[in-house]
């Protein structure tokens, strides 16, 4: 019975997550971006706190090598990476939709540039040899995808989450079916 319960629990969790991903993909992207922002803030704050603590407790004596360079002691250096991590984390946490939009615009532009590059290559190849129209199909689809990402940035960012949500639901349903089969077969084997 314990196997059935854990399988059913996993299945129910997967189905609930799948439904939430399908129903609220935009909010999920925002939540994930905020979580990533917090994950950037935490080490940045730790780094700055360590710097301030070390600076407060720093000893004025310094250990020098033979050339007169400081080996240890003195004031610690400012944690530029820690400050940058805090700034990026605050940006992600306080303006997640802006970050997602900017990222999608950047990705859309990169996709369009890739399609244009493929078209240029095909035009150059056409000067050398005959090229079938089928070769233009892939760059055309890539170009349309890039335009879609530029026109609908949030929708294109949430599309993968919708697909993952559908997969979670399929997993949950199949896990329920498998758990039921497993329970039924074990029950039959015990009664024999």
Rounded to whole angstroms, the Cα distance separating 122 from 131 reads 8
Q: The whole model's pTM is what?
A: 0.65
Structure tokens at 67: 């050339």
Mean pLDDT of the chain: 83
Tell me the per-residue pLDDT of 112-159, one tens digit each, with 9 for 90 and over.
999 899 889 888 888 888 888 888 898 899 999 889 888 888 778 888
Alpha helices (H) along the chain: 2-23, 25-56, 80-94, 96-128, 137-151, 153-191
> Is 68 in a helix, a strand, or coil?
coil
**Contact in structure between 157 and 14 (CB atoms under 8 Å):** no
Integer angstrom CA distances of residue 64 from 3, 75, 85, 154: 65, 14, 32, 56
Rounded to whole angstroms, the Cα distance separating 140 from 133 reads 11
State the average pLDDT over residues 157-166.
Answer: 84
State the average pLDDT over residues 86-96.
Answer: 93
Per-residue confidence band for 24, with pLDDT thresholds at 50, 70 and 90: confident
Per-residue confidence band for 2, with pLDDT thresholds at 50, 70 and 90: low
- What ranges do the domains of the chain cover? 2-191
């Amino acid at each position: 019975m314990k196997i059935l319960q854990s399988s059913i629990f996993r299945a129910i969790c997967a189905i609930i997550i799948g439904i939430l991903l399908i129903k609220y993909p935009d909010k999920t992207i925002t939540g994930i971006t905020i979580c990533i922002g917090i994950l950037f803030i935490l080490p940045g704050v730790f780094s700055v706190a360590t710097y301030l603590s070390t600076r407060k407790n720093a000893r004025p004596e310094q250990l020098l090598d033979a050339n007169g360079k400081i080996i240890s002691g003195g004031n610690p250096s400012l944690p530029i990476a820690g400050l940058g991590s805090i700034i990026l984390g605050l940006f992600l946490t306080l303006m997640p939709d802006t970050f997602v939009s900017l990222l999608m615009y950047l990705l859309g532009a990169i996709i369009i540039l890739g399609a244009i590059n493929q078209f240029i290559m095909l035009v150059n190849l056409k000067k050398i040899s005959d090229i079938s129209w089928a070769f233009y199909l892939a760059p055309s689809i890539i170009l349309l995808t890039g335009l879609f990402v530029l026109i609908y940035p949030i929708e294109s960012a949430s599309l993968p989450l919708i697909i993952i949500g559908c997969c979670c639901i399929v997993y949950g349903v199949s896990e329920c079916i498998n758990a039921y089969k497993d329970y039924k077969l074990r029950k039959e084997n015990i009664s024999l």
